Amino acid sequence: MSLTPSKLAMVPFVSVENMMKLVHHIGIENFLRDMAAEIEADFLRWELFDKTPRIGSHSDVGVIELMPTSDGELYGFKYVNGHPKNMKEGLQTVTAFGLLAEVYSGYPVLLSEMTVLTALRTAGMSAVATKHLANKDSDTMAMIGNGAQSEFQCLAMKAVCGITNIRLYDIDPAATDKCAANLAGLGLNITKCKTPEEAIEGAHVITTATADKDMQTILTDNMVGAGVHINAIGGDCPGKTELHRDIVSRSTVFVEYPPQTRIEGEIQQMDPDHPVVELWQVMSGTAKGRQSAGEVTLFDGVGFAIEDFSALRYVHNKIKGTPFYDDLDFVADPDDPRDLFGMLQRAKG
């Protein structure tokens, strides 16, 4: 019997290096635009998916989570951590990897890094929400929090929503300088701001992406004027928020999956029955989005497994016929499925 792994045993693996090559092969803005379209397509199939809040293991310094879902044909999950203290130690706040499997056989069909991919899908999700909820003439965004996610957010707004004026603010001026330098020459008009109040001046969209593991008030009620759309994406675990509750009280709140957002999002500050609208219903036309130009809309984004599923499926399709993956001998596949021990013995050489 041959010891050569069968085709079924080989699983495409997308490393960090190959993910970056794939993104540049497609083009960053094209990738973000495609990612947003994939998320929209899956949100329109929302009722087909298994849905559960992510499974978290919390500690004093962070959280490690699993995010699973299935559409009945494919199953996907993401492993992801969130450790705000890592930044001070020279480590990523968020790292992730994911797997896609065939429901029929249970065999994996893709293993991928998801640190870079999560940044892309998170930005794509914010852009989708902005597309559906912001005033249509919006052309200026305040980016509050200029860390690892900020450049992706800004480029996604350009690629999907046509927003080209970006006002940057971070409590650390070096982060703002980094973000501005990275975005130079990419078709955006960048303004570096010294205060959050300066950043939101004239902004139609405000995106907050801060990393503190605490109940913060990055935005206070007097900072948010009529007609603004807010993407609050930094408050993504219990005990971590970015907005004063008065902002939440006077906004129309849109969420991905209420059972998860009520635990992790801005609405964890509110009563358990605080009214929210599910974003998939706005996309499908079964619920209303923005109803007036002066309304304050809030996307309370915490990230949901269907978005990761969309990202993994997109990558799985895009790597076909490219060199941007490696085959891993990942699944034991003996010639006789009942003889796993025999396969082990034959490997002695």
Using a 10 angstrom Cβ sphere, with 0-12 exposed, 13-18 middle and 19 or more buried, the burial of residue 186 is middle
What Rg value do the Cα atoms of the chain yield, rounded? 21
Helix (H) or strand (E) segment spanning residue 123: helix 115-133
Contact present, 307 and 125 (Cβ < 8 Å): yes
Q: Is the dihedral angle over the CA atoms 181, 182, 186, 187 positive or is it negative?
A: negative
Tokens of 300: 């309370």
Give the helix ranges, DSSP H, for 138-220: 150-156, 173-183, 196-200
Please tell me the distance from the alpha carbon of residue 38 to that of residue 309, in angstroms, as a whole number.
10
Using a 10 angstrom Cβ sphere, with 0-12 exposed, 13-18 middle and 19 or more buried, the burial of residue 68 is middle
**DSSP sequence for 82-101:** E-GGGGGGTS-S--EEEEEE
Among 53, 118, 63, 81, which residue's Cα sits nearest to residue 307?
Answer: 118
Provide the 3-class DSSP secondary structure of residue 14: strand
Q: How far is CA 328 from the centre of its chain?
A: 26
Instruction: Please pick, among 34, 42, 236, 308, the residue that the annotation labels catalytic.
Output: 236
Concerning whether 236 is annotated as a catalytic residue, the answer is yes
Tokens of 310: 């969309």
Query: ∠ CA 275-278-282 to the nearest 5 degrees?
Result: 115
Among 136, 144, 140, 171, which residue's Cα sits nearest to residue 231?
Answer: 144
Residues with a catalytic annotation lie at 236
